[in-house]
Amino acid sequence: MSQQSPLGKPVNRVDGRLKVTGAAGYASDHHPDRLAHGYLVLSTVGRGSIRSMDTAAAQRSAGVLAVYTPLNPLKLFNQGGGLFGPNWVPLQDTEVRHHGQIVGLVVAETFEQARDAAALVRVAYDARTPVASFEDNIPNAAVPEPFFFGPAIQDYLADGVASIDDALAAAEVTVSGSYRQPIKLHNPMEPHSTVAVWRDGHVTVYSGTQAPVGHVQDIARCVGVDQARVRVVSPYVGGGFGNKAMTWGHTLLTVAAARALDRPVSTVLTREQMFTVTGHRSAVAQTVALGATRDGVLIAVKHDAYSSASTSGAMFPWGPHTTTLPLYRSENIHIGQRAVTLDIPTSTIMRAPNEEPGAFAIESAMDELAARLRMDPVELRMKNGTTVVPGNGHPWSSKHLDECYRVGARRFGWSRRNPVPGKVTSPDREWLIGMGMATAIYPAARFPSQVKIRLQADGTAGVSTAGADLGTGLWTVLAQLGADALGIPMDRIRPDIGDSALPNNTGAVSSASTAGAASALRLAAESVKRALIQLAVENPRSPFHGMNPQDVRYADGALTAAARRVSFGDLLEATGSAAVEATEGVGFGGDRQGFEFASFGAHFCEVRVNRWTGETRVSRFTTVVDAGKIINPKTARSQIIGGVIFGIGQALSEGIQVEPATGRFANANFAEYLVPVNADVPPMDVQFVQHPDTAFNSEGVRGIGELGTVGAAAAIANAVYNATGRRIRDLPITPDKLL
């Protein structure tokens, strides 16, 4: 009987039991002998230089082993942080680039001793006034160099049209709006932590990371050690959302301190330190102007964005290029991106880095246009959707966005929406009720990924790659894909990830893990089956010895030929072989050329806004997703829900208050930076329209990790408008904005 494939089944996480019982070892759970503990000292001015540091009291404090500062540094090499990391390494100069910057590392016998000694370090600064206000410095914004998405300013104009403003002026109906959102934080549940253990000139680094191989490269480069002597072990990662995809200063200092002290060192960041040491999502200000015919055909689309950037490096969001351009068809399109560089901590990638802000602006503006036209927002979007991407003219490999709109509208009950704002109330008339919708888009990427499959004599199969599972589900997906490819039960698959010594993998970035791993795994499965058959016909102790390989077939974990069937375990046993293995990989991009690959979705939500006191509460949410074939609907649903909850935070509560005079993040803690709590999360309905995207890869899968958050905030803001008639373009939508 053929083995039932677990592909597409809502199977439980294979690492779930380990996690809920505490048996899964995260980075800081490693306690090697003689472990010492590091604690960071952070700057308390926003710009300037260190004049002197008094570390005497700290050095005398109980248990202290060393106090490293710019005046007593650990040597690091500034070899660049890559696209997503900071452009400097700590303690190599006395410069203060931002408030909350690393200016010291205290190492002591215990965490508490290190923390308490760090509080005794006194720093004297020659402080300068930081350039910290985003709003005030928008007039000084610069046009950045071309990036992944081409030039920062792009115009696509119909013949004879001189400018986008001319096109807008000629439109029958226009709307325009200006949209703002503050700096936000990743806030993964697991704090950033690094445990470094040197032995015989080799270092093993336990560090929660989304990219073990990249982490090795960064550490090797910046600490100054041969890459071959660095190994990163990171099997479990307690969330990352982008800020564990690069290497931050505390990791480099920890590795260097462990070498200098000749003993293992662990550094775990506090929640407060994570607000300035490990990156954030930029503040973004955007303007969108839309011109259309009276019957809702877009004639002119103009979307300009200003993103905050940091003198300390890394990237900033490119919203218009990644949302407006691929989403809507128009004769005339203008997209523009500018950067406002500030003396604030490093800005970096965060879940849907470009698309999250971009979609808030364009999907709010589309709602404003629909209201102006008295047209259904779903109909307006369906009327103007793209079939090819402006610029390169590539068609979509597989786009079923209209189906998402239709299915979502039906499941949600969109037809019951009153298009006139402010008309629907709760039975007690205390709450105004509104419905809103928005579109989600996220590009489908695939990065270099290798997978090794190892068939073992005990009948199990190892499936391994140096990827990462930050709650995203790779452990489980590998077990499912392995079971399907080899035709054996999932409990005989032994997945292994999160170790740089495993076959190369770019890591968990850009929602690309499953596409890469699935493609490589399918190739590796075919190779390992061929290798097994080769062994079967060549090994004299094999029952298939001497047969033509073409006559031997692999199915459901066994070889068959001439009415003989032998499982791979028995064959390996019989031939005295421990295992047969094969490693295969894929590179960048989709299988077929000339297509544009992206996942899509449609959000529908209902909000309640208190008539008197202005609190917005999300009461229902439906999201329908077009992301190709879904390997595991259970973990996939969790991804979408998590993304939508991110969007609830974006819409209603999250945001850093930057003090303009000091560059200090005023609410850099979990008490004052408000992530959504369970009570903010309504019942969620998630549906997948499953159309395998086989132009993208053989499995037909695309990414889902980031998609769910794209457009979620716009859907909520649009629902607030429908509830109240008030258009809030400045996030988060707190009660004071609705009084």
Partner 1 sequence: MRAHDFTIARTVGEALSRSGDGSAYLAGGTTLVDLMKLDVMTPQRVVDINRLPMRGVHRDRRGLHIGALERMSDIAGYPLVKAGYPVIAEALLASASGQLRNMASIGGNLLQRSRCGYFRDTATPCNKREPGTGCSALNGENRMHAILGTSNSCVSTHPSDLAVALVALDAAVQLRDRSGVRTVRLADFYRLPGTTPHLEHDLRPGELVTGVMVPRLDWARRSTYLKIRDRTSYEFALTSAAVAVNLSGRTIRDVRLAVGGVGTRPWRLPAVEDALRNRPLRQDVVEAAAARAVADARPLAHNRFKVSLVQRTIVRAVMSLKG
Residues of this chain that interact with partner 1 (CB under 8 A) are 44, 62, 112, 115-116, 119, 430, 610, 612-615, 617, 652-653, 657, 659, 664, 666-667, 669, 671-672, 674, 676-680, 732, 734-736, 739
- Concatenating the DSSP letter of every residue in 289-353 gives EEEE-TTS-EEEEEEEEEEEEETT------HHHHTHHHHB--SEEEEEEEEEEESSSPB---SST
User: What are 241's two structure tokens?
Assistant: 């959302």
Q: What are phi and psi of 481, to 5 degrees?
A: -65, -40
Q: Taking the complex as a whole, how short is the minimal distance between the CB of residue 674 and partner 1, in angstroms?
A: 5
The residue among 153, 148, 147, 139 whose CA lies nearest residue 304 is: 153
> Which candidate in 190, 356, 699, 706 is catalytic?
706
- Catalytic, 706? Answer yes
Cβ closer to partner 1: 416 or 429?
A: 429
Cβ closer to partner 1: 12 or 613?
A: 613
Q: Taking the complex as a whole, how short is the minimal distance between the CB of residue 475 and partner 1, in angstroms?
A: 29
Cβ closer to partner 1: 136 or 458?
A: 136
Q: Taking the complex as a whole, how short is the minimal distance between the CB of residue 50 and partner 1, in angstroms?
A: 15
| Cα gap 324→109, rounded to integer Å | 54
Q: Tell me whether residue 31 is exposed, middle or buried, using C-beta atoms within 10 angstroms of its C-beta: 0 to 12, 13 to 18, 19 or more.
A: exposed
The residue among 705, 681, 686, 711 whose CA lies nearest residue 624 is: 686
Q: Are 627 and 8 in contact (CB under 8 A)?
A: no
Q: Taking the complex as a whole, how short is the minimal distance between the CB of residue 653 and partner 1, in angstroms?
A: 5
- Other Cβ atoms closer than 10 A to 4: 11
Q: Taking the complex as a whole, how short is the minimal distance between the CB of residue 155 and partner 1, in angstroms?
A: 40
Cβ closer to partner 1: 373 or 658?
A: 658
Q: Taking the complex as a whole, how short is the minimal distance between the CB of residue 737 and partner 1, in angstroms?
A: 8
User: What are 220's two structure tokens?
Assistant: 């090797």
Q: Taking the complex as a whole, how short is the minimal distance between the CB of residue 614 and partner 1, in angstroms?
A: 7
Q: Taking the complex as a whole, how short is the minimal distance between the CB of residue 615 and partner 1, in angstroms?
A: 6
Cβ closer to partner 1: 430 or 551?
A: 430
Q: Are 522 and 515 in contact (CB under 8 A)?
A: no
Cβ closer to partner 1: 555 or 661?
A: 661
Cβ closer to partner 1: 379 or 615?
A: 615
| Cα gap 160→188, rounded to integer Å | 51
The one-letter code for the residue type at 41 is V
Long-range contacts of the stretch 120-123 (C-beta < 8 A, 24+)? 120/57, 120/58, 120/61, 121/41, 121/53, 121/54, 121/55, 121/57, 121/58, 121/67, 121/69, 122/53, 122/54, 122/57, 123/41, 123/43, 123/44, 123/50, 123/52, 123/53, 123/54
Q: Taking the complex as a whole, how short is the minimal distance between the CB of residue 96 and partner 1, in angstroms?
A: 13
Q: Are 106 and 41 in contact (CB under 8 A)?
A: yes
Query: Cα dist. 653→182, 569, 649, 656, 676 in Å?
Result: 11, 55, 5, 10, 7
Q: Tell me whether residue 462 is exposed, middle or buried, using C-beta atoms within 10 angstroms of its C-beta: 0 to 12, 13 to 18, 19 or more.
A: middle
CA atoms 249, 250, 255, 261: torsion sign: positive
Cβ closer to partner 1: 406 or 611?
A: 611
Q: What is the largest CA-CA distance in the chain?
A: 85
Cβ closer to partner 1: 490 or 648?
A: 648
Look at residue 158 and give its three-state secondary structure.
coil
Residues with a catalytic annotation lie at 706
